[in-house]
């Protein structure tokens, strides 16, 4: 089955977009949803927030909870980006906070962590991602030593595409009940089938709509396990929306659910788009397992051509990350041929999605053969 007709508005040029791990094309249903956000603003003015918090946000929370097996949708907070959510979470920790992470986290967290480290606000222990085959085991062993305020790692590594399939074992290895554990799932949500049932009461889960959720920028979320981070120091007025939250005398009040991690005013249009995508997928009977199977079959078709070496990541997410001697040159030649990928150092990353079909893969293979043959 081809899903390309559902993406007709985004797929109007001759360029072949193969970077679904970066800016994923949006399905057509998001066009009307984006317009609805405008209409609600025009007709409701300030009262639009009653609709956003009374209807739109609860719908998003239910969709996320259903996709990843969370028992309570109310544990989910939203923000324009994951950086804001993580910064708010870290504001709950003592300074300097003791952080355990890997050396392969996405730029947003890695850069901020390095800057906090420079400023003396954190001390950091980084577990090497290589060799990938033993990463989960080594990360669990490091976590099991205890003494951390925060354990932060990715479900799918952004550079190699490696899936930390044993994330629940890593979480379980953390011996200190008061240690915050964060699973960064931006490359996992809506790509890798996920059930958080075993860790929902213990780990934060942070992701967003820009990539595989196909909803664009400005719609990120975090599952906030009960009892962790009751009073973030970094807080905004939405955490006390409607003055319904009362704290003890002389203290700022917070809700007990995910709302305690809310910030300040944001553009809600991403929430509308996110919900439209989720409703569309439900209507056509496609779940994350179906998407993962579709993408996996396309990856195997591309690898079978032999035009690129086998990726080191196994299991992997929805992009092939392959090491090439001239990765930047290959990327540029592909771009000139109308095939959009991306490059990280010596890694060429090829992202396939629901909107691709076998003909697309064959075109990518042909372009790759030409690009790698050019010297």
pLDDT digits (tens, 9 = 90+) for 45-63: 999 999 999 999 999 999 9
Is the bond preceding 75 in cis, omega lying within 30 degrees of 0? no
Q: How far apart are CA 8 and CA 302, in angstroms?
A: 24
Answer whether 211's CB lies under 8 Å from 184's CB. Answer: no
How would you list the strands of the sheet with 76-79, edge to edge? 76-79, 220-223, 203-208, 180-184, 150-154, 97-102, 122-127
* Cα dihedral across residues 156, 160, 164, 170: positive or negative: negative
pLDDT of 242 over the 80 cut: no
Q: How far apart are CA 273 and CA 260, in angstroms?
A: 24
Q: Is 285 left (phi over 0), alpha (psi -120 to 50) or beta?
A: left
pLDDT digits (tens, 9 = 90+) for 64-74: 999 999 999 99
As its CATH architecture, domain 30-281 has 3-Layer(aba) Sandwich (3.40)
Read off the pLDDT of each residue in 26-41 and give the average, rounded to a whole number. Answer: 98
Band (pLDDT 50/70/90 cuts) for residue 246 is low
Q: How far apart are CA 90 and CA 100, in angstroms?
A: 13
In DSSP terms, 154 is beta-bridged to 184
What are the sequence ranges of the domains in the chain? Answer: 4-28+286-373, 30-281
pLDDT digits (tens, 9 = 90+) for 256-266: 999 999 999 99
Half-sphere exposure of 196 (CA within 13 A, CB side): 29
Give the pLDDT score at 251: 86
Q: How far apart are CA 211 and CA 274, in angstroms?
A: 11
Q: Tokens 């820009």 identify what position?
A: 210
Domain 4-28+286-373 = CATH 3.90.79.10: no
Answer whether 188's CB lies under 8 Å from 181's CB. Answer: no
In DSSP terms, 19 is beta-bridged to 351
């Amino acid at each position: 089955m081809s899903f390309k007709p559902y993406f007709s508005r985004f797929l109007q040029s001759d360029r072949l977009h193969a970077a679904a791990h970066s800016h994923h094309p949006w399905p057509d249903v998001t066009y009307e949803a984006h317009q609805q956000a405008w209409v609600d603003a025009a007709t409701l003015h300030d009262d639009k927030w009653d609709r956003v918090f009374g209807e739109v946000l609860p719908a998003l929370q239910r969709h996320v909870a259903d996709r990843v097996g969370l028992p309570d949708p109310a544990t989910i907070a939203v923000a324009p980006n994951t950086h804001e959510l993580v910064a708010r979470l870290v504001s709950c920790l003592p300074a300097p906070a003791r952080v355990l992470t890997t050396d392969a986290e996405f730029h947003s967290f890695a850069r901020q962590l390095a800057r906090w480290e420079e400023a003396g606000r954190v001390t950091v222990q980084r577990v090497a991602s290589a060799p990938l085959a033993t990463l989960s085991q080594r990360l669990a062993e490091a976590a099991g030593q205890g003494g951390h305020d925060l354990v932060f790692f990715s479900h799918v590594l952004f550079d190699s595409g490696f899936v930390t399939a044993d994330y629940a074992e890593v979480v379980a290895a953390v011996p200190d009940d008061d240690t915050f554990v964060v699973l960064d799932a931006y490359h996992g949500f809506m790509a890798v089938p996920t059930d958080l049932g075993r860790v929902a009461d213990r780990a934060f889960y942070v992701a967003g709509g820009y990539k595989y959720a196909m909803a664009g920028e400005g719609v990120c979320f975090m599952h906030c396990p009960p009892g962790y981070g009751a009073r973030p120091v970094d807080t905004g007025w939405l955490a006390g929306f409607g003055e319904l939250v009362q704290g003890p005398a002389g203290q700022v009040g917070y809700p007990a659910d995910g709302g305690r991690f809310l910030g300040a005013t944001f553009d809600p249009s991403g929430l509308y788009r996110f919900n439209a995508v989720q409703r569309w997928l439900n209507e056509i009977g496609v779940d994350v397992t179906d998407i993962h199977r579709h993408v996996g079959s396309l990856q195997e078709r591309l690898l079978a051509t032999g035009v690129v070496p086998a990726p080191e990541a196994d299991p992997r997410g929805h992009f092939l990350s392959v090491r090439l001697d001239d990765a930047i040159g290959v990327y540029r030649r592909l771009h000139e041929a109308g095939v959009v990928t991306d490059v990280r150092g010596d890694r060429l990353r090829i992202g396939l999605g629901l909107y691709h079909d076998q003909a697309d893969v064959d075109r990518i293979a042909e372009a790759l053969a030409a690009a790698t043959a050019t010297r």
